[in-house]
Amino acid sequence: MTTTAILLEKVSVRYRIPRERIGSLKEYAIRRLKRRLYFDEFEALREVSLEVSGGETVGVVGRNGAGKSTLLRLIARVMPPTAGRVVVWGRTAPLLELGLGFHGELTGRENVMLQGALLGFSRAEMRRRTPRIVEWAELEEFIDAPVRTYSTGMAARLAFSVATDVEPDILLVDEALAVGDERFQVKCHARIEDFRKAGKTVFLVSHALSAVRENCRRAIWIHEGRLVRDGDSASVTELYHGWSIGEPVALPQAL
Amino acid sequence: MSASEVLLRPGPVPLYDSAASRSRALEEARALWVYRGLVHELVVRDIKVRYKRSVLGIAWTMLAPLLNMVALTLVFSTILKQQITNYPVFFMTGAIFWAFFSQTTSTAASQTQDSNEIAKRIYIPRSVFVASAVGVGLVNLALSIVPLLIILVVTHFPIYTTWAFLPVAVFIEALFAAGVGLWLFTFASRFSDVREMYTVIVQTWFFLTPIVYHPAIVPAKFRFALWLNPLYYLVQIFRKPVYDGVLPSAALLGVSVAISVVTFVSGWIYFSNRAERFAFQNG
């Protein structure tokens, strides 16, 4: 029996971009008085409808600026849609940017507590989880050193470890696997596989088509804000790859 | 398949539904409660980071008002020959109150950029940043009670039983500071010059509020400026129990509570409805 985990109904996102950047209140007030405020509207997503069942692994492909990250932001409830509806069942953990909110002066352990809190966990809960997080990240020796002394790979390991240890129902991964050495990448893939087996939903945005094929059964292709292909990851990535290198692929207006 | 059918199927109530029509103000309050652990972490982080690499550490918080007090006592009691009995205690009570208000609100205004960077990538109720600004302010306020006690002991000033009222006074003031912080945070998400503007406002406000001088020296024709200043009432409910040894009058307390509640509630509603929107239109 499958249940819906994510549902998007004709979701559109428009960003309003001021034609001239007005960052100050003074300038805004002056222009407002003169009635000179122009905005360009940029549609990052146009009427995207999508249903993802619990336990599905979905890869998202598309060019830069196609709207992939906006899609993840919507699911992570970081921003509301301009039109349409987004419904999410279950807890999401974004792996949008590794090490977000890490503070260099604080130790690894203190940062784990902070990251956990950013994900909405209590202190007691995080204290319980910390040993396991540290073990997975293989940072036992360094966990009480300030994070500014860490290498990029070490910080990434710690962040990935926190984000996946908190057992979200829906894991959102945005290009996060690109950093770190071979061993780390293998461990990450293994953990995503564990997630999948546990019936969790995984959303993976990546330019590495091989990563999408390896980790996901299903893939969607976003082009200029529209969902243009939705199918098994092998055929969608193949089609997308072909289109990228210039093969003629008919892009439907929208699915 | 209609939307309602789809929603019936998965059983459990969705954790997030963008179309759910709940009050944003209530939603924000509920989310802040869920994320109270984050407020705690942010307060701890702020204090740890500030003192991690400094020699005197936390002592700075206590030393700074003491040094200020010495300088201002010299200026106001020696040079200006102001007649205030035990000026150090008079000044310290005002200064502690002022430091709390100005630090809390300035932090709320200046945190906008950082916090938007985080809040654009991960869901957190934005009010945690204002709450943590208030939290840091309260910790510093508690620490600055130490130098106040030192001054009381050194100058043989009595410690009145009315001190017991202080938590209530602090609560009312925290509510006001939070309200101003919410308004500032929301404005600052939209306009980058709000922070600088507020720095100037705070400086002016300091001199318009009877912190370093006694309200009695204000000429009658300028009294209205005091009456219009919310901090005029709020500083008194903090100062009276410590310096005068009396509880604030019912009228004074009533005005203070009214100002704080109105500022906080309006700030909360405005913030809940606008802060998120402003963050994304800024680009």
Q: Which residues between 112 and 131 in chain B have a beta carbon less than 8 angstroms from any beta carbon of chain A?
A: 117-124
pLDDT of res. B77: 67
Q: Is the ipTM of this complex over 0.85?
A: no
Cα A118 to Cα A98: distance, rounded to the nearest angstrom = 13
Convert the pLDDT of each residue in B31-69 to its tens digit.
Answer: 899 889 899 988 988 888 777 666 666 777 677 767 877
Q: Find, among B72, B131, B80, B102, the residue nearest to B202 by Cα.
A: B102
Task: Work out how many domains chain A is built from and give that number.
Answer: 1
Give the range among A26-40, A135-149, B162-176, B252-266 with minimum mean pLDDT: A26-40
Kindly report which listed range (A26-40, A68-82, B222-236) carries the lowest average pLDDT score. Answer: A26-40
* A182 inside domain: yes
Nearest to B283 by CA among A86, A26, A14: A14
Q: Per-residue pLDDT tens for B184-218? A: 998 888 787 888 899 999 999 999 999 888 888 88
The pLDDT of residue B164 is 92
pLDDT at A152: 80
Chain B hits for A79, CB-CB cut-off 8 Å, are: 120, 276, 280
- pLDDT of B136 > 50? The answer is yes
CATH number at residue A216: 3.40.50.300
A212 within a domain of the structure (yes/no) = yes
Q: Specify the pLDDT at position A132.
A: 92
* Residue B219 sits at the chain A interface (C-beta within 8 Å): no
Determine, yes or no, domain membership for A70.
yes
CB contact under 8 A, B281 and A16: yes
Contacts 24+ apart (CB under 8 A), A119-124: A119/A93, A119/A162, A119/A163, A119/A166, A119/B122, A120/B34, A120/B35, A120/B37, A120/B38, A120/B124, A121/A166, A121/B37, A122/B37, A123/B37, A123/B40, A123/B41
Q: What is the pTM of this model?
A: 0.83
Cα angle, residue A30 at apex, residues A29 and A32 outer, rounded to 5°: 65
Under 8 Å between Cβ of B279 and B116: yes
Residues 18-57 of B with CB under 8 A from A: 18-19, 34-35, 37-38, 40-42, 45, 48-49, 52-53
Average pLDDT over residues B168-174: 96
As beta bridge partners, residue A15 has A42
Q: Which residue has the higher pLDDT, B165 or A209?
A: B165
Residue B180, pLDDT above cutoff 90: yes
Q: Which two tokens stand for residue A32?
A: 């407002």
